[in-house]
Structure 1
Amino acid sequence: MKLWEKGAFLSNGKLVESVQGANAADCAKNTIAYRILQKHNTSADASKLKIKFDKITSHDITYVGIIQTARASGLKKFPIPYVLTNCHNSLCAVGGTINEDDHMFGLTCAQKYGGIYVPPHQAVIHQFAREMLSRCGDMILGSDSHTRYGALGTMAIGEGGGELAKQLLGKTYDVNMPGVIAVYLTGSPVPGVGPQDVALAIIKEVFNNGYVKNKVMEFVGPGIKNLSADFRIGVDVMTTETTCLSSIWATDEKIREFYAIHGREGDYSELTPAENAWYDGAIEIDLSEIRPMIALPFHPSCAYTIDEVNANLLDLLDETEKRAKVSFGDKVQFSLKSKVIDGKLYVDQGVIAGCAGGGFENICAAADILKGKDTGNGKFLLNVYPASMPVYMELMKNGAFASLVDAGAIIKTAFCGPCFGAGDTPANGALSIRHSTRNFPNREGSKIQNGQLSSVALMDARSIAATAANKGFLTAATEFDTEFSGKKYFFDKTIYEKRVYDSKGVAHPEVEIQFGPNIKDWPEMSALTNDLLLKVVSEIHDPVTTTDELIPSGETSSFRSNPLGLAEFTLSRKDPAYVGKAKAVRDRTAEVTEEVNKTAQILESAKPEFAGRVQKAGLGSTIFAVKPGDGSAREQAASCQKVLGGWANIANEYATKRYRSNLINWGMLPFLYKDGDKNLPFANGDYVFIPDVKKMVEEKLASVKAYAVKADSTVTEFELSTGELTDDERKIILAGCLINFYRN
């Protein structure tokens, strides 16, 4: 794999450094991404995009909050197709009735406002979008970070719920024109190598160096023709883990065939870059060189070939344990070396599931490898989740399920739970191998504060099946001489016609929304004050902080319709003291009042010009993290901080645009502190006074002076900035949140 240090032209089907007479700025307009983005841009400025999407989609963890936000802001009807899927909180026993209450809320809102409702276990969100929503040249916005349909010619973006609420209210998605990176594919994968292997190899190369961060990955090159639609989809969905903004692929006859199979051939069109397209960078990949991969805990970028792991087992497991120490410290004892038996790595569980693993071809390939074999009757267990009921039906018909069940696998229905810790949670200390999207810490049922920790390694379905055939000992699929059947897929649309509610865009305002006791309105939020006094209530020095650590996934998902209830879990697996500290500041307890008075005295003594201003300032909390927000699009990572009285984050940088947007939409200042995390001017428990913060936002000032006040009476002046903010983003922060902005 090769990363081009500088940009590249695509000329005569090949990457070159220069083309005589070609200008990079002009030729950047020849990419597929540029054409689609500008087609959806409603502004007169090609560099400052104001995008209106063709369709939007959410699942049952996110749609309640989105619709509640839009309702509070004046929603009357869904202006574009809005699909509400139910694939995350599908286990309705969790939390009593509250998951099914959310589903009934979703159904009645689809009826009232004119949407589409997909019942539980019918399809995971992204599979339904592939089968029923994608169209070449379209754009789709989803409230799930893995909203990626680029392989089907659709540019899709995963964002927090606030951005979907904007689309429901007729507003736009505002973003600078992103850079575009060519992913140039050559060659053909060897038998046993699957899409997850290719994806993990890419993530390994580009995550840590930020090569594609907030850019669009555009897949081109002669190797595309050697990949099926399903294979491309499997690579594409994992582009989220590179931190890119979106993705798009050149389309061809195999994509036309995909649309024809799904009865939508009219939604196909050929997409190719124009001659001499200019890219801001390029990734060259020879597919024939990719080998089965494994991403060891606790990130998809911690990827190695399976052969490399088996050859250097104890050394690589030791590195993994050292990485875990950074996140967990001494809170739990994490060991993978204990999984080594007779020089081989033993895993406890295998899962093939969700938007990444649950595709037709992945499961057929796993069935081919396991045909005539068995998984054994020991600890190892293999669970398989087809991504939709149409896929499930075809796997029943073609015999793939029979091979899997005969081998000892358990077949389940379409459900995203195994991806985020709400299904197939491993035992304490167990290691699970999964063809899913993430393996972050604190994700798969781990509760560090209770001494519980499980871990996940990411692999392709093919190598998971090979490992299952070896009774749980790590094995690459290329070690089996498998004859892959290449079964053809037949899509049965009547499965959806019988069960999915499709309003066809017709709203029925007379329908009463069905609420449950867990569905709560957002609490009132105040506008930004002239000055701010922030108490630092958590300090995180991990290189990256995931959204799973900011607000845990798993069983907490059932409370996402209850802002105050969910907020009780904020940072619970990273900093259990956070919630109590934040609430004390929000409620201005006697102890906090005393601290504020002392802070005012210290600051006014050092800076007499602030006399009388400190105690009148808006009071809130803040956290410091080096690089927060990697991973999920879940807006609750920000909204939970807000309802607990948070007014800002302070970070060296933000891991994704999604998380920064979520902060802004909940009226929180996305402060940047540029001087690293080793010698911070403040510490956990200190106060930070920021005078004239409202002026900074209103007048578009580049930065603001802040003053850290310590208990020992030390006052340190330092500088904070917010980075670039759009005019609307400034108005949202000034109003205190998106709801206030629209209400005003």
Structure 2
Amino acid sequence: MLKLYDNGIYLVHGETICSCPEEVAQKTGRIVDAKEAEKGTMAYGILQAHNKSGDPDQLQLKFDSMTSHDITYVGIIQTARASGMKQFPLPYVLTNCHNSLCAVGGTINEDDHKFALSAAHKYGGIYVPTNMANIHSYNRETMAGGGKMILGSDSHTRYGALGTMAVGEGGGELAKQLLGRTYDFARPQVIAIYLTGKPRPGIGPHDVALSICGAVYKKGYVKNKVMEFVGPGIAGLPIEYRNAIDVMTTETTCWSSIWVTDEETQRYYTIHGRPQDFKKLQPAEVAYYDGCVYIDLSTIESTIAMPMHPSNTYTIHELQANAADILHAVQEEANKQIKGAKMNLDSKFHDGAIWVDQGEIAGCAGGTFDNICAAADILRGKSCGNGVFTLSIYPGSMPALAELYKNGRANDLVNAGAIMRECFCGPCFGAGDCPANGEFSVRHTTRNFPNREGSKPGEGQMSSVALMDARSIAATAANGGKLTAATDLDVEYTNPEYHYNASLYEKRVYNGWGKAEPDAELRFGPNIKDWPEMPALTNDLLVKVCSYITDPVTTTDELIPSGETSSYRSNPERLSEFALSRRDPQYVGRSKEMRAIERDREVGKALPEEVMKVYEALTKAGIANDSANTDIGSTIFANMPGDGSAREQAASCQRVMGASANFAKQYATKRYRSNCINWGMTPFLVENPEVFELGDYIFVPSIREAVLENKASFSAYAVKPDGTVTEFPVSTGALTEAERQIIADGCLINYYRNNQ
């Protein structure tokens, strides 16, 4: 049973759900109101402990530590350097788990790793060498702590099961912390995730997490809110089980998460040599939540998320019972979004079964010690077969891998035909074990977005990815690729003890926190470039619509593809050439034309005839304009852009390519909207985007004034090629004072330069 409550609830003594104050009074003998009881959540206490504003509703947060991986840390450090940073003011973990296998571009990946090591020396950071751990395994093992807050530039920065509120954001927000500034945010609502019951044997954390994603994502039930895990069901879950559920909360579009902590949490910290970092967390006697997701864990079934989103969920038995119909429906729905080669799932149903070509157990969600041991229990003495099907295992960290070697589970997997791989996140974002064209992969990873597995539909390459729990992947492997639910097998799960070897990190990780070496030189590779100059916002703005996307949701991976393109992450100009390349290949050319026009305008060159006709049409319509003092740029429209990754490149690449704004009905995540703001792109909201289309111009007069004054609504004008001018209302949504000035200054770097 999984139920969403229509209204807020009161939780009494951490277990009893009440719908109104009268019920609470019957249970406790006292009357409470929602405003007072909302202070009883765990989230409220942690947020206020980190809030520097003095206003409990308008937060200005400072974090305890930060973390980034090798797709994001160069840009963040470069932004902070350009803004005046002298040393890291808080512990900053730099991991190397995303571009450690990509060979694209020659030496440039390892050049970035050396840059990070030199930065750790110069500024006092923590450097985790390549293949030692994925970003979130390392932070769980060494940095999380009860009541702490961690900010990461990876969207799956979630350590709630360890009592740490963690937030995944774009690089600009991390740069602010490096400059001693705060993370400004209106206090989020809190949703109770109430767990009861106990999972059946064979049901793993991905089954639970995918069931939650399927229930809440499309409804926006937890969007930009905190998911607070409570209820008696938590006590029966091992800590790694909780961690693996928790990391998937990102896929619900929540802002952060936090769990009740108990003896199991305390045991985790003790095993990892940090008993002092445990803190008992639980709601107050009465706590008010803005909603509730009620989950009876005993009813969860083996689950699969079909292409192309973690919320596109079915039970495996449901899929098997209606295989032909569901596979075809998923295939056709996916193909509506794909430009180029098409997905073919129909062919995967034959001989009375669904057949998959590849299995992956990897990363922060799948590569946990417990998951891999469960897979070994299923595959012990069996074989994956010598057919098409392959199975790869990517453990989360070297300490976990060492223990798998020591206790024999790695041997069980290898003897069954599985491949043990590095501590690497690649299968999650298309940089490792990319399937062959037309193949179908099942993965215990976090995402199955378009192109996330490495497809290039525009070049005739298309494969498919579904998400499943490690247990069902192992069951499928035991049947040679025949899709199988783990609950259909009779398995004795051994649940071996974990023994953590801290010396593996002590021997290899450089910990320079508190030991900055100001005279140390940064090591720059030839691909590491400074950010280009960004212009300040002029009073009026003229943009051309260079991409118009009508999909319900546009992911970060569609805005800037992951995989091999990420190798150019440290070269803003080079990386920007990939913007929207797999969703709208013509975008870059269109936007570059507008960038060239603006650069010519800035040096006094005449505007092209097309632009002059726009100004003539505006003048004819009686709309005042000043072409000599109007910034000209590009823009995109998407219904709901920015779901998924926190990578700031989704916005910065547009900006480098000449973009000045985004237009959207709504933004999928706070982090993508923040990325737009931090790179000086106005995040317009529009209710009726049908008034303009691809190739039209949009003129926004007095935009600087509207932004600085945070006007609720103001006018924009769509200008069509035939000279037709249509007025329509736009807004920017609520902007903090700093955000308003960042947009006006042109980007975060300019803002700090102007306010040193």
Aligned to 2:667: 654
Tell me the number of residue pairs that the alignment of Structure 1 and Structure 2 aligns. Answer: 738
Q: How does 1:563-582 map to 2 (within 5 A)?
A: 563-582=572-591
Take 1:276 and 1:591, find their aligned partners in 2: how far apart are those partners?
A: 68
Contact conserved, 2:538 with 2:629, CA < 8 A, in 1? no
Matched position secondary structure for 1:587: helix
| Residue 269 of structure 2, aligned match among 249, 252, 259 | 259
Whole-angstrom CA distance in 2 between matches of 1:288 and 1:348: 31
Cα deviation for residue 91 of structure 1 reads 1.5
Shift of 1:592: 7.0
Q: TM-score normalised to the size of structure 2?
A: 0.97
> Match for residue 414 of structure 1?
423
Local SS of the residue matching 1:140: strand
Alignment partner for residue 711 of structure 2, among 694, 697, 701?
701
> In the alignment, which residue of structure 2 is the partner of 1:550?
559
Number of the residue aligned with 2:148: 138
CA contact (8 A) 1:585 1:592 kept: no
1:243 aligned partner:
253
Deviation at 1:527, TM superposition (A): 0.4
Mapped partners of 2:487, 2:607: distance in 1: 62
Question: Partner amino acid for 1:582?
Answer: S
Q: Which residues of 2 match residues 70-149 of structure 1 at below 5 A?
A: 70-91=80-101, 93-149=103-159
Q: Report the AA paired with residue 304 of structure 2.
A: I
TM-aligned CA deviation for residue 22 of structure 1: 1.1
Given the alignment, which residue of 515, 540, 544 partners 1:531? Answer: 540
Q: Which residue of 2 aligns with 1:602?
A: 617
User: CA RMSD of the aligned region, Å?
Assistant: 1.0
Q: Which amino acid aligns with 2:57?
A: S
1:498 and 2:507 aligned: yes
Separation in 1, partners of 2:366, 2:401:
13
- For 1:135-284, list aligned pairs within 5 A: 135-284=145-294
Displacement of 1:299 = 0.2
Structure 2 residue aligned with 1:624: 637
Deviations 1:677-714 (A, max 9, x none): 5xx11111111111000110122211221111111111
Distance 1:630 1:92, change over 3 A: closer
Task: Give 1:591 deviation, angstroms.
Answer: 11
CA distance in 1, matches of 2:338, 2:445: 23
Alpha-carbon distance in 2 for matches of 1:45, 1:343: 62
Query: What SS does structure 2 have at the residue aligned with 1:80?
Result: coil
**2:109 is paired with a residue of what secondary structure?**
helix
Cα distance in 2, alignment partners of residues 446 and 401 from structure 1 = 30
Q: Kindly, what percent of the aligned residue pairs are identical?
A: 62
- Alpha carbons of 1:592 and 1:395: their partners in 2 closer, same or farther (altered >3 Å)? farther
User: 1:92, 1:98 within 8 Å by CA — same for their partners in 2?
Assistant: no
- Would the aligned equivalents of 2:637 and 2:664 in 1 still touch at CA under 8 Å? yes
**What is the DSSP-based 3-state SS (H/G/I as helix, E as strand, rest coil) of the residue aligned with 1:701?**
coil
Retained in 1: the 8 A contact 2:375–2:474?
yes
One-letter amino acid of the counterpart of residue 300, structure 2: I
Structure 1 residue 117 displacement after superposition:
0.1
Instruction: State which of 479, 485, 495 in structure 2 corresponds to 1:476.
Output: 485
Q: Deviations for 1:151-209, whole angstroms, at most 9, x for unmatched residues?
A: 00000000000000000000000110000000000000000000000000000000000
1:60 aligned to 2:61? no
| CA deviation vs aligned residue, 1:423-477 (integer Å, no higher than 9, x gap) | 0000011110000000001221111110111110000000000000000010000
Corresponding residue for 2:497? Answer: 488
Q: 1:584 corresponds to which residue? A: 593
TM-score, with structure 1 as normaliser: 0.98
SS in 1 for 2:608: helix
Kept after mapping to 1: 8 A contact 2:560/2:650: yes
For residues 298 and 273 of structure 1, what CA distance do their matches in structure 2 show? 36
Q: Name the structure 2 match of 1:308.
A: 318
Within 2, Cα distance between the matches of 1:443 and 1:582?
24
**Residue 283 of structure 1 aligns to a residue in which SS?**
strand
1:513 to 2:522 alignment: yes
The aligned amino acid for 1:5 is: D
8 Å contact kept, 2:52–2:62 = yes
Spell out, residue by residue over 1:3-58, the C-alpha distance to the aligned partner (whole angstroms, 9 max, x if none).
11000000132111022311000000000000000000000111000000000000
Report if the CA contact (8 A) 1:614-1:689 is conserved: no
- Cα shift at 1:615: 4.8
Q: Distance in 1 between matches of 2:434 and 2:607?
A: 40
- Which segments of 5 or more consecutive residues in structure 1 lack a partner in the other structure? none
Q: For the residues of structure 1 that align with 2:710 and 2:512, how far apart are their CA atoms?
A: 44
Whether the 8 Å contact between 2:160 and 2:259 is mirrored in structure 1 is: yes
Tell me, in whole angstroms, the C-alpha distance in 2 between the residues paired with 1:433 and 1:698.
49
Q: 1:31 aligns with which of 37, 41, 56?
A: 41
Offset, 1:276 = 1.0
Partner residue, 2:378: 369
3-state SS, counterpart of residue 70 of structure 2: coil
**Alpha-carbon contact 2:559-2:583 (below 8 Å) kept:** yes
Query: Alignment partner of 2:590: what SS?
Result: helix
Amino acid corresponding to residue 584 of structure 1 in structure 2: E
Q: Check conservation: 1:600, 1:615, Cα contact below 8 A.
A: no
Task: Give the Cα separation in 1 of the matches to 2:324 and 2:59.
Answer: 50
**Partner residue in 2 for 1:423:** 432
For the 8 Å contact 1:200–1:301, the answer to whether it is kept is yes
**Counterpart in 1 of 2:28?**
none
Q: CA deviation at 1:95?
A: 1.7
From 359, 368, 372, give the equivalent of 1:359: 368
What secondary structure sits across from 1:181 in the alignment? strand
Shift of 1:606: 1.3
List per-residue Cα deviations over 1:472-528 (Å, max 9, x = no partner). 010000111000011000000000000000013210011100000000000001100
Structure 2 partner of 1:339: 348
**Distance in 1 (alpha carbons) for counterparts of 2:276 and 2:342:** 56
Counterpart Cα distance in 2 of 1:710 and 1:94: 42
Q: 2:728 aligns with which of 703, 718, 723?
A: 718
Q: Among 554, 558, 569, which residue is 1:560 paired with?
A: 569
The residue that corresponds to 1:348 in the other structure is 357
Gaps of 5+ in 2: 26-30
Which residue is equivalent to 1:593? 608
Q: 2: distance between equivalents of 1:383 and 1:625?
A: 36
Q: Secondary structure at the match of 2:635?
A: strand
Match of 1:15? 17
Q: Which residue of 2 aligns with 1:449?
A: 458
Residue number among 452, 468, 473 corresponding to 1:459 in the alignment: 468
Partner AA of 1:572 in structure 2: S
